[in-house]
Amino acid sequence: MHTKQHETVFKALDTFSIELPSWGFANTGTRFGKFTQAAAATSTEEKFSDAGHIHSITGVCPTVALHVLWDFPQGTGSIGDVQTIAAKYGVRPGAINPNVFQDQCYKYGSLGNPDPQIRKTALRHLLDSVEIQTKLGSRDLSLWFADGSNYPGTQNMHQRRQWFEEGLKETHRHLAEGQRMLVEYKPFEPAFYHTDIADWGMALLLAQAAGPKARVLVDTGHHYQAQNIEQIVVWLLGSKMLGGFHFNDRRYADDDLTMGSIDPYQVFRIFHEIFFFEWNSGERADIAYMVDQSHNVKGKIEAMIQTVQTAEELFAKAALVDHKKLAYAQGKCALVDAENCLKDAFSTDVRPAIREWNKSKGLPEDPLTAHRESGYIERITAERAEKNAAAVSSYA
């Protein structure tokens, strides 16, 4: 690798961070069942401990996304506990994720529910989440709604669209200066006929209606097969409405597999368009990179370290695209030359440069090996095995 490439990788990684989800450390499964892991986190404290461990060996995961229902059992009453835990493990609370899909009352929806009392209950939870966000100093409120219906004609989509607009506007009204609201979309599942926020167009319109602090969140698994995700990213960047990502990979639908495991070139193309936007516009894109995965069979901590390393590699590769050469080739319609700008960068082995960067930051060169040699997994397995053998019921 040339010195210049080396420098480019270092500069890119200096700006890079990726947020880990608290729920990625707990036992998860599919609708067919759940295989528990002896080392899985069984409490908010254990999730912070795992996230802090990963940050200590990778240096790029300073924040943890939190799930209000699962991490704040007493709601706003748990804020103090979470502050104490975060300070203890050296990672800050990140995006706050309300949960308006798990309680029985949400069978027919939350903000889109025909029952005004349930819409109110959902709104109350969103406002409690804003209070949590404010007291913890979190920047982002990350919203995903499971609302939808399974059969044609069974729900009034016109009304539900309006109720969503109203609910998001009201939530937005409570955001403080510097806070943001991220609106996530998903085409289907759990609902199989219609989903109230099904794609980036609906999320964009709702975010624009909600107010100036709202942005769109792109979960890479929430698209139809073959959809051009990087083009959606280009449009959101161009309209200053891209707020962040939930990264995961998939083969079929929303599989929540490890980032880059199935199609690393997809993730590379997304990062490339972000770098190219910045090069073209001279602006820095303000984007929250977050992981949203479900490690059902892989060891959770190893899977998360593998994810972070993959994210760094694909980000670094995308930084290596020669923008000047690419812009020139595009202008001349030199198709093969233009495409090769991407392919050359993608095929560069950036791992030696990343190991060097790790060393320069006082981090272990290879985080996965460092983790395996740390004794951490043996310690938490001993501490948690009994609790995990007993608890099998809840998703979190």
| Between 144 and 357, CB nearer to Mn ion | 144
Amino acid at 224: Y
| Beta-carbon contacts of residue 363 (< 8 Å; ≥ 6 apart) | 57, 58, 59
Instruction: Tell the smallest beta-carbon distance from residue 260 to Mn ion (Å).
Output: 16
Which one of the spans 22-30, 241-249, 263-271, 331-339 is the region binding Mn ion (CB under 5 A)? Answer: 241-249
Does residue 313 bind Mn ion (CB under 5 A)? no
Q: Which helix (H) or strand (E) holds 246?
A: strand 242-247
Amino acid at 39: A
Which one of the spans 100-108, 122-130, 162-170, 240-248 is the region binding Mn ion (CB under 5 A)? Answer: 240-248
Number of chain residues interacting with Mn ion (CB under 5 A): 3
Contact 251/262 with Cβ under 8 angstroms?
yes
Contact 68/75 with Cβ under 8 angstroms?
yes
Instruction: Tell the smallest beta-carbon distance from residue 188 to Mn ion (Å).
Output: 14
| Between 146 and 168, CB nearer to Mn ion | 146
DSSP 8-state assignment for residue 115: S
| Between 246 and 250, CB nearer to Mn ion | 246
Helices 44-58 and 79-89: crossing angle, nearest 10°? 30
Does residue 246 bind Mn ion (CB under 5 A)? yes
Q: Does 190 sit behind a cis peptide bond, omega within 30 degrees of 0 on the bond before it?
A: yes
Residues 219-238, mask of contacts with Mn ion (x by CB under 5 A): x-------------------
Does residue 19 bind Mn ion (CB under 5 A)? no
Instruction: Tell the smallest beta-carbon distance from residue 183 to Mn ion (Å).
Output: 11
307, 304, 310, 246: which is closest to 95 by C-alpha?
246
Instruction: Tell the smallest beta-carbon distance from residue 224 to Mn ion (Å).
Output: 16
Please count the other Cβ atoms lying within 10 Å of the Cβ belonging to residue 301: 25
Instruction: Tell the smallest beta-carbon distance from residue 186 to Mn ion (Å).
Output: 8
Which one of the spans 40-48, 90-98, 105-113, 287-295 is the region binding Mn ion (CB under 5 A)? Answer: 287-295
- Considering only residues 183 to 222 of the shown chain, the ones binding Mn ion according to CB under 5 A are 219
| Between 294 and 309, CB nearer to Mn ion | 294
Please count the other Cβ atoms lying within 10 Å of the Cβ belonging to residue 86: 23
| Between 172 and 250, CB nearer to Mn ion | 250
Of 292, 303, 316, 345, which one interacts with Mn ion (CB under 5 A)?
A: 292
Instruction: Tell the smallest beta-carbon distance from residue 290 to Mn ion (Å).
Output: 8
| Between 9 and 291, CB nearer to Mn ion | 291
| Between 219 and 273, CB nearer to Mn ion | 219
Q: How far is 309 from 323, CA to CA, in rounded Å? A: 24
| Between 46 and 292, CB nearer to Mn ion | 292
Instruction: Tell the smallest beta-carbon distance from residue 184 to Mn ion (Å).
Output: 6
31 in helix, strand or coil? coil
| Between 249 and 292, CB nearer to Mn ion | 292
Q: How far is 302 from 259, CA to CA, in rounded Å? A: 13
DSSP 8-state assignment for residue 145: -
Q: How far is 321 from 50, CA to CA, in rounded Å? A: 34
CA angle 124, 125, 127 (to 5 degrees): 65
CA angle 165, 209, 157 (to 5 degrees): 35
Instruction: Tell the smallest beta-carbon distance from residue 44 to Mn ion (Å).
Output: 19
Instruction: Tell the smallest beta-carbon distance from residue 185 to Mn ion (Å).
Output: 10
| Beta-carbon contacts of residue 33 (< 8 Å; ≥ 6 apart) | none
Which one of the spans 85-93, 246-254, 259-267, 341-349 is the region binding Mn ion (CB under 5 A)? Answer: 246-254
Interface contacts to Mn ion, rule CB under 5 A: 219, 246, 292
